[in-house]
Amino acid sequence: MSKRMSHGCRCLRIFTRNSTPWFRSPGKEGSHFNPYSNLFSPQERKLVMISNACLSPMVIILAYVSFTVGPSHVFKLYGIPYLIFVIWLDLLTYLHHHGHEHKLPWYRGKEWSYLRGGLTTVDLDYGLFNNIHHDIGTHVIHHLFPQIPHYHLVEATKAAKPVIGNFYREPKKSGAVPFNLINNLITSLGQDHYVSNSGDI
């Protein structure tokens, strides 16, 4: 499917997720803002309502400031930094879940397990940004043990590597600024990431 797309479309498809923050991917149901969504258990409904109640004043403040100083100022001072933040997080998430050197398997049905799903992610080195992002590059261990706090992820990854063995993909070290991730992104977007609806792997 992606081989028929132009190069520009293949590169820009990463941003389509930003245009649909209220809903899940096509063919799936649920919303992160609906407390009765199938994404949440009945025990979590109250937490979703609290989160929505906390977001509401921010929306009101942004609307008020837009009317007071103008929407262009709000867009420049809030909208653009917010978009940069969201795009950066989307890129990080994309890179952790798409192998640029080794095509990562996609498990479903009987072949899928929590462990297999966690092991189909990759760690990355972000250079100076490792500390800023609380070691977000240690993504495999985060998927296997999400309850481990960020300040123990590096040592947990070191301890888990011998146990994980060949299933762990060692990240390439980057310089102070991780320019190598740009190449990773371009290579990954250039590959065919179409997942067939047939088969369990």
Each residue's pLDDT expressed in tens, for the chain with a length of 201 residues:
455 666 666 666 555 555 555 566 666 777 888 899 888 899 999 999 999 999 999 999 999 999 999 999 999 999 999 999 888 888 888 888 886 666 777 788 888 888 888 888 889 888 888 888 888 888 899 999 989 998 999 999 999 999 998 888 888 888 888 888 888 888 887 776 666 666 666
Rounded CA-CA distance 49/98 in Å is 33
Report, in this order, helix, strand and coil percent for the chain, each rounded to 5: 60, 0, 40
Specify if 22 maps to a domain. no
Range of the domain at 169: 79-190
Specify if 14 maps to a domain. no
Specify if 196 maps to a domain. no
Rounded CA-CA distance 195/109 in Å is 14
Q: Phi first, then psi: what are they for 41, rounded to 5°?
A: -80, 160
Transcribe 145-170 into DSSP letters.
-TTS-GGGHHHHHHHHHHHHGGG--P
* Distances 46 to 31, 37, 43, 57 between C-alpha atoms, Å: 15, 12, 7, 18
Specify if 60 maps to a domain. no
Domain count for the chain: 1
Specify if 158 maps to a domain. yes
Specify if 69 maps to a domain. no
Predicted local confidence at residue 95, as pLDDT: 86
| pLDDT digits 0-9 by tens, 93-136 | 888 888 666 677 778 888 888 888 888 888 988 888 888 888 88
Specify if 124 maps to a domain. yes
Predicted local confidence at residue 118, as pLDDT: 87
Residues 108, 200: contact at Cβ < 8 Å? yes
Specify if 137 maps to a domain. yes
pTM over 0.75: no
